[in-house]
Structure 1
């Protein structure tokens, strides 16, 4: 029997000493539990993905020292094999690094394997720094078990859709008893199910059991869910670790079968609960790693800021979140009273900073300088920019992280003000379509069994309140229609399952009419013309398969055909 400890850790990019401390603690527990193998995620030494830190000589020297420290640490756990991930130097033409897997035991390096398939699509850009490893299989005997090793993408090409070579097939030819795959697989809606289906099929195809160990935690826009698992040819997924939490878990492996001394408590999350947990973890880690303990949010009395505040409270605690309401002469009575109710429900402080007089002074100055009244779009955007400035003043003065509140529907078509409501350090709901914002608010209330987000806010007709009697539908189609168009244009074939069928059906019906086709053409133009705004906006937490940011790289100055 081989006892394996999967170590689903939350490494910090660049914090080599801190990451080693995480690995030492997990390895010590594994040794105490009499494990022979402890498995850490991909690039566990540096965190995934270090990016251009890998171009820094000082960083590379720290990596080398880190590997030496891990070799020494392995002496303190006799007989325990540590499977770690780290960048390693290589020689010859091409890039100077490999994305490598190392097996360490008793102060010695027992095995070295370099990742062969380097993803360079969507949010990935590994070919920027790494050279593909040689087309070889690496197997190590640990006790009576022959263990073969893969690194993340190497296991995703069993059907040869994306690469000419298939490391899984080459490893299967070496006839191991078990495959161990180390991963840094980002989380998005539908990703868990995709992993399970792909690796279950590969396990059955090659008649090989497999252990899949993934990292957890938020890094900038990307969140990793962990959710490590084991599959067998006959049983499919037979074990899964919890999602969105750090954990270590022991599995016993013998004669192709995994057994677990304790239950893991994994669960399938419905979409809204998935969004909620991913956002909360993403914000918590972003704030912690950037040195923030508190957040500030502009409270408009609308649904976007309400949802942002509720999620921030869950991530950081009510004592660490501040709301600021900034009424103007166009603000409705409800925008302030609803903000008061929301903050009372959340248990957070609400501060008020009216902007009526500031707007008036800007108007007088504009008229005096340019002999023209300040009106229309310029006046509307001015209000948003004044509010953004006030929020940044507060952030600078008191050290709070400013959270921006734009949703994906509005960001897509530029229904936001650059240097105004786009100000901030992080966007929590920028990958949620507006219809999903409503759904997540209802889910939060339902889960709490009480009204966290006031129903008056959820039921209110969306409005920017920057002009008299303004409504979002003055500028945009109804959000259910807009979101169908946006999902098809932005995500398209990346949509999964029932959502893909629903969106394609509705979109086909829409473009089947002259009015609908004209609307789609208009939305295409709005998306293209507002790329410059998205390029300057703060990072947003990625929730879906294609999010704005590194996962969608479009030019600003280009000719688009509509």
Structure 2
């Protein structure tokens, strides 16, 4: 029987010391558990994804030095085969590097494989730095078991529609008993189910059992959920590691079957997390790692008394602890009494310290200065935006003074159509809910209350009509259609078939229903035009934690100066 140690770890891009320490620690742990193979994920040594750091010679030198340390350690564990991902130089024509898988044993690299399929869609841009590997299989005999290898995207070209090459074709001819796939597969709604479906189909078509090893943790906008798994042709998925956390598991393999503690692993019903719980965990992990990697222990949020800032505060408190979250309420002459009292109740429920910094006098001073300088009063939209920009300045003052990361509170519905103020409520270092539509903001808020068994987010915040409170009696519906209508248009337009099938169908049917009337067609056209003309705002907005299949940022690249 082949004993395999699966190391599902949380790596940091460029932190070679920490990454190498973690890899070596788990190599020793695998050897102590009598494992024959220890498997780590794609680009584990340097972290995924380094971007243009791969063009930095010192970065590559440190990557080489880290690999050398791992190779030296392997000599101390002569029976263990370590399978790990890293960047390797390309000695032939083409791009300067390969995205590589190395098999290391007893101080030697005994097998080397280069990723053949380099994704350039969505959030990926691997062909920018890497040259595809040759169209050959890589196999290795370990304790009389022939093991084949591949890297992430190599296993996703079923049935060969996206690339001219299908690495499984060569792999089948090499007749391995088992395929080990190392991955850096980011998480989004529906992704786990898609992984299971895609890899299971490949497994059935090739009759090759597959072990899919993923990483976990947050890196910039991306969150990796782990959830490594094993799949066999006859049974489908028979094993899955933890979601959203590091994990170390030893499983056996013999005669086409995976085993645990000497017993065959059998197919079992794998249930997806409810979408709200998935979203909560995704955001919490993303915030924790973003703050930690960027050197922040505290965050600050502008508390308006509305649902967006309330949810942001609740998530921040869960991720970092209430003692590390600061809220600031900044009432103006248009702020309702409820906006302040709701902020007080919210922060009391969450155990968060709330500061008050009124802005009415500052707004008046700016307005007076504007009129004196330009001989015209400041009113309408410029006056509304002034209030938001003063608040944004105050929040940045606090961030600069006390070293707290400012979290922006915009949601995807508002960011999509530009219902936000540049240098105002868009200020910040990270957006927690920027990939959640407004209807999802409400659903996640209710979920958090249900999970807590009490009102962490006060019901008046959830039930009151949303308002920016920058003008008298202002409501979001003064400028936008109801979010239940707008969100379906946005899903259809921005994500389409990238969504899970049921969600994509619902959005498509909703828009088709609208387009049966002239009023509906005009509404759809208006929303799409608003999305198009506000790209410049999104380009300047903070990064946001990706939750859905197509998030603003690297996942949707649109021109600024274009007519469409």
TM-score range, shorter chain: over 0.9
User: Hey, what's the Cα distance between the residues in 2 that align with 1:82 and 1:265?
Assistant: 31
Structure 2 residue matching 1:103: 3-state secondary structure: strand
Structure 2 residue 446 is matched with structure 1 residue 442:
yes
What is the aligned counterpart of 1:523 among 500, 520, 527?
Answer: 527
- Alpha-carbon offset, residue 265 of structure 1: 12
State the partner residue of 2:66: 66
- Structure 2 Cα separation of the partners of residues 419 and 301 of structure 1: 20
Deviation, structure 1 residue 147: 0.3
Q: In the TM superposition, what whole-angstrom CA distance separates every residue of 1:235-267 from its partner, at most 9, and x where no partner exists?
A: 100000011000110101111111123999975
Aligned match of 1:472 in 456, 476, 485? 476
1:29 Cα deviation after fit: 1.1
Q: Which residue of 1 aligns with 2:507?
A: 503
Partners of 2:269 and 2:378 in 1: CA distance: 60
How far does residue 411 in structure 1 lie from its aligned partner after superposition? Answer: 0.1
Quote the Cα distance in structure 1 between the aligned partners of 2:11 and 2:269.
Answer: 22
1:208-247, aligned counterparts within 5 Å? 208-247=208-247
Counterpart in the other structure of 1:361: 365
Alignment of structure 1 residues 173-192 onto 2, 5 Å: 173-192=173-192
Write the deviation string for residues 390-439 of structure 1: whole angstroms up to 9, x where unpaired.
00000000000000000000000000000000000000000000000000
Q: CA distance change for structure 1 residues 153 and 537 in 2, over 3 Å: closer, same or farther? A: same
Question: What are the equivalent positions in structure 2 for 1:306-321 lying under 5 Å apart?
Answer: 306-321=310-325
- Equivalent residue for 1:405? 409
Distance 2:336 2:327 in 1: 18
In 2: Cα distance, 1:168 partner to 1:342 partner: 54
Distance 2:224 2:73 in 1: 27
Give CA-to-partner distance per residue, 1:464-513, whole Å, 9 cap, x none: 00000000000000000000110011111212121111111111000111
The whole-number CA distance in structure 2 between the counterparts of 1:336 and 1:520 is: 36
3-state SS of paired residue (2:532): helix
Residue 297 (structure 1) shift? 0.1
State yes or no: 1:539 paired with 2:540: no
Q: Is the 8 A contact 1:243 1:266 kept in 2?
A: no
Distance 1:532 1:158 in 2: 37
**Structure 1 alignment gaps of length 5 or more:** none
- Paired position in structure 2 for 1:433: 437
Secondary structure of 2:435 counterpart: coil
Check if 1:490 corresponds to 2:509. Answer: no
Partner Cα separation in structure 1 for residue 156 and residue 408 of structure 2 = 35
CA offset at residue 78 of structure 1? 2.5
Q: 1:390 aligns with which of 382, 394, 412?
A: 394
The TM-score, its normalising length taken from structure 1, stands at 0.98
Superposed displacement of residue 124, structure 1: 0.3
Taking a change above 3 Å as real, the CA distance of residues 201 and 187 of structure 1, as seen in their structure-2 partners, is same
Tell me how far apart the structure 2 counterparts of residues 109 and 541 of structure 1 sit (CA, whole Å).
37
**Matched residue count:** 560
CA offsets per residue over residues 27-67 of structure 1, 9 Å max, x none?
11111111010100000000011100010011111111111
Task: Determine which of 282, 285, 294 is the counterpart of 2:286.
Answer: 282
State the Cα RMSD in Å: 1.2
Partner of 1:91: 91
CA contact (8 A) 1:405 1:428 kept: yes
Please tell me whether residue 551 in structure 1 is matched to residue 560 in structure 2: no
Do 1:242 and 1:265's aligned partners in 2 also have CA atoms closer than 8 Å? no
Residue aligned with 2:208, SS: coil
Question: What TM-score, normalized to structure 2?
Answer: 0.98
Relative to structure 2, which stretch is displaced further, 494-503 or 410-419? 494-503
* Cα distance between partner residues in 2 of 1:241 and 1:161: 30
What is the rounded CA distance, in whole Å, between the counterparts of 2:274 and 2:77 in structure 1? 41
Runs of 4+ in 1 over 2 A off after TM superposition: 261-268
Q: Quote the Cα distance in structure 1 between the aligned partners of 2:6 and 2:491.
A: 37
Task: State the SS of the aligned residue for 2:495.
Answer: helix
Which segments of 5 or more consecutive residues in structure 2 lack a partner in the other structure?
A: none
- In the alignment, which residue of structure 2 is the partner of 1:49? 49
SS of aligned partner of 2:188: coil
Distance 1:287 1:248 in 2: 25
User: Counterpart in 2 of 1:201?
Assistant: 201
Contact 1:241-1:265 at 8 Å conserved across structures: no
- Aligned-pair CA distance for 1:213: 0.2
1:67 aligns to what SS in structure 2? helix
Output the CA distance in 2 between the equivalents of 1:500 and 1:158. 22
Specify the alignment match of 2:249 in structure 1: 249
Q: Which residue of 2 aligns with 1:15?
A: 15
Distance 2:443 2:201 in 1: 34
Partner of 2:552, secondary structure, is: coil
Between the aligned partners of 1:158 and 1:456, the Cα distance in structure 2 is 50
> Counterpart of 1:156?
156
Partner in structure 2 of residue 370 of structure 1: 374
